[in-house]
A = this chain, B = another copy of it.
Amino acid sequence: MEFFDIAETWSREAITAAQIVRLRNTVEQAMKSPFYGQRLKEAGVTPGSIRSLDDVRRIPLTSKDDLRAQYPDGLICVPKSELVRMHASSGTTGTPTVVYHTQSDLNSWADLMARCMHMVGIRREDVFQNMAGYGLFTGGLGIHYGAERLGCLTIPAGAGNTRRQVKLVRDFRTTVAHIIPSYALYLGAALRDEGEDPAELPLRIALIGAEPHTEEARRRIEDMLGLKAYNSYGLSEMNGPGVAFECVHQDGLHVWEDAYIAEIIDPATGEAVPDGEVGELVMTTLCRQGMPVLRYRTRDLTRFLPGECACGRVHRRLDRILGRADDMLIVKGVNIYPMQVEQVLMGFPEVGQNYLIVLERDDFRDVLRVKVEIRDEYFEEDMRKLHGLRERITRRIHDEILVTPKVDLVQHNSLPKSEGKAQRVQDLRERPAL
């Protein structure tokens, strides 16, 4: 295996051993902030009390609201003169969350990002065009520093200005682009509209992240632009990009467990879910000095993929982000995410664009009803075939969520349409699920 960082070659035992030592150091560092000082004291957690990786669960969870309450500087763990960078969420919904970095933090971050890029075959001979916005948004400077660390010729193009982006790609023979998925689709369509063949551009790799997107969107980006698109995962509270990244096998995102501890919890109870089940991703920094964050609830839903990756790295793989924890429904005591139902439905060619999940209560019992629009050509078929289809959908949904739904097949265009974000769930039960 060609690797950028020796940590990529570590065994599970080596990773675990490093995680325990680094978690101990991180707890010691975090205690220097008043917030974690008090939290950890109340929980009875000291560096010395961390003896196994399971001890991470003794540390209380940290929420986005916790970070907001510490705005602007309640989580700093070094003398302020040691800080060299500040990033902040856009703060579109209230107080922004702020993250501070020391020079050592920036170096670690650049190393992690360079490792991601190296993993998918990017080398110093590549020309890298950063089509993400710079500034407080971590996607710009975060990937920029990684590319520079790797030694790529970096073109800090910034976001937008499609005509100039294409001119830069063409004139400077750009081989790798960092691009937001929706912009990649727009760029591909714009090129085709102008009669250009994007496959003739020198681009060979796109790093796509920052927005949730489907596997179908990725394949369309790859086809339209004639390149390989790799999924990037990060969030500003964990630095930004460079947290988890796909390898060349495009089968899940390796999370860099030498630098983070990743857990999947049940968002309702806060307890670990059984291995491989969907839940909320919780992350702990292991290499950050300026502002360590312990057991941060990302609100992002995913699961650990089972088995070993063909690339040989044992760093566990996260599934692509399946939605937000805030979307979770509890039905008959089981956690269900609308995205799980959607994924099942999209596997049936008979199913149209629209569906609706309706939660009802029947004699104190929860009923999960799924109304599914069927394409006109299938709706014409005889009743037995439709019954068969309904049964197959029912079974497949049950297999995915372990609850048996009532499935209604309805005609195309019969479900309410919505402008913008689709309304996929109606909860008609008396009490809210959470």
Contacts and interface: CB of A to CB of B under 8 A. Distances in A.
Given A80-B125, A85-B153, A125-B80, A158 B134 contact: yes
Interface stretch (A11-19, A22-30, A135-143, A405-413): A135-143
Given A124-B81, A151-B84, A156 B136 contact: yes
A125 B81 contact: yes
A73 B155 CA distance: 14
A82 B172 CA distance: 15
Contacts of A85: 148, 153-154, 156
Interface residues on A, range: 20 to 34
A383 to B, nearest CB: 60
Interface string A66-102: 0000011100000011111111000000000000100
A140 B141 CA distance: 11
A152 interface: yes
A389 interface: no
B148 A84 contact: yes
Given A72-B171, A72-B172, A171-B72, A84 B136 contact: no
Interface in A136-174: 136, 140-141, 148, 151-158, 171-172
Nearest to A87: B156
A421 B73 CA distance: 46
Interface in A337-361: none
A103 interface: yes
Contacts of A148: 84-85, 103, 106
14 contacts: A71-B171, A72-B171, A81-B124, A81-B151, A83-B153, A84-B148, A85-B153, A86-B153, A100-B153, A134-B140, A134-B141, A136-B156, A136-B157, A136-B158
